[in-house]
Structure 1
């Protein structure tokens, strides 16, 4: 697993995240060493749901050449799927709950994943967004996981 400069500065904050991410892949996007990182995040509160989060990771060379060491883009994408039995018994419908948080700058920005249970439509909604100290970000990504209509914790179809 590659540890970025941003992650190194934020080890104390990373330890507070509700779920741990497992790095699946890095895709190099340019000669400066910038990457798109793909991580898998299991939702431990409901079980049986795994989200894949992709985000842009700036290299040290890019930060030095641009002169904006602390800036990091808020771009991310998320896709979630049912990977086993799901238990929504402990969830409050309509209440956003933290699933994952990862620091994206030295002090001011984090990438977050929140879960919202839509009980009426039997759907789990996962929202990826940036959170900044001074202002929010309009860059969001969303994924939904349909649940069985009868309430049973059925495994996904193969």
Structure 2
């Protein structure tokens, strides 16, 4: 084994593990999936629907549907998923905010890699204080070129949103 390979192993491991990272608090729960393309070797291409509970707003859940690439590359985590997603956020229980912790006007609620290195799926929460509404935007970005494909949804909040 060469010294160059030995020295690069930790970097390679960190790179691979970074593909599994999500922001703390927002965890995906797969609700269901449908096959879209049959693949002879490896998993089929799919559309997956995941649920994400807003980590700072109890009682709000966001449902995100997106493509997941299958085949051999998809099976080993080397595939690049399409930069297309849809989002629908709903009140799923009584809405509550952490006491003494106001929401920022805009904050990334969730982020997940959809390619090995360069592309991420993001969900951002925005606060429309004038209308007392939480607005959620999903989009994907890429280090070199982003995608304008996006989806937006809103959840009205009775009783007010804590301000900064």
Q: TM-score range by the shorter chain?
A: 0.7 to 0.9
1:130 to 140, 149, 161: 140
2:23 aligns with 17
1:26 aligns with 2:36: no
Structure 1 segments (4+ residues) deviating >4 Å? none
Q: Gaps spanning 5+ residues in structure 2: where?
A: 1-14
1:112 aligns with 122
Cα deviation per residue 1:112-135 (whole Å; 9 max; x = unaligned)?
000001011011000000011011
1:90 to 92, 98, 102: 102
Per the TM alignment, residue 16 of structure 1 is displaced from its structure 2 partner at its CA by 4.0
Judged with a 3 Å threshold, the aligned counterparts in structure 2 of structure 1 residues 75 and 121 are, in CA distance, closer, same or farther, namely same
- Cα pair 1:115 1:125 within 8 Å, conserved: yes
2-structure distance, mates of 1:36, 1:16: 20
Paired positions, count: 138
1:40 aligns with 2:51: yes
- Cα pair 1:10 1:103 within 8 Å, conserved: no
2-structure distance, mates of 1:99, 1:47: 13
Per the TM alignment, residue 103 of structure 1 is displaced from its structure 2 partner at its CA by 0.5
Hey, which of these two has a bigger chunk of strand by percent? 2
Q: TM-score, normalised by structure 1?
A: 0.77
Q: TM-score, normalised by structure 2?
A: 0.75
- Cα pair 2:19 2:115 within 8 Å, conserved: no
Q: 2:66 aligns to what SS in structure 1? A: strand
2:109 aligns with 99
Q: 1:47 aligns to what SS in structure 2? A: strand
1:74 aligns with 2:83: yes
2:155 to 137, 145, 154: 145
**Which of the pair has more CA radius of gyration?**
2
Per the TM alignment, residue 30 of structure 1 is displaced from its structure 2 partner at its CA by 1.9
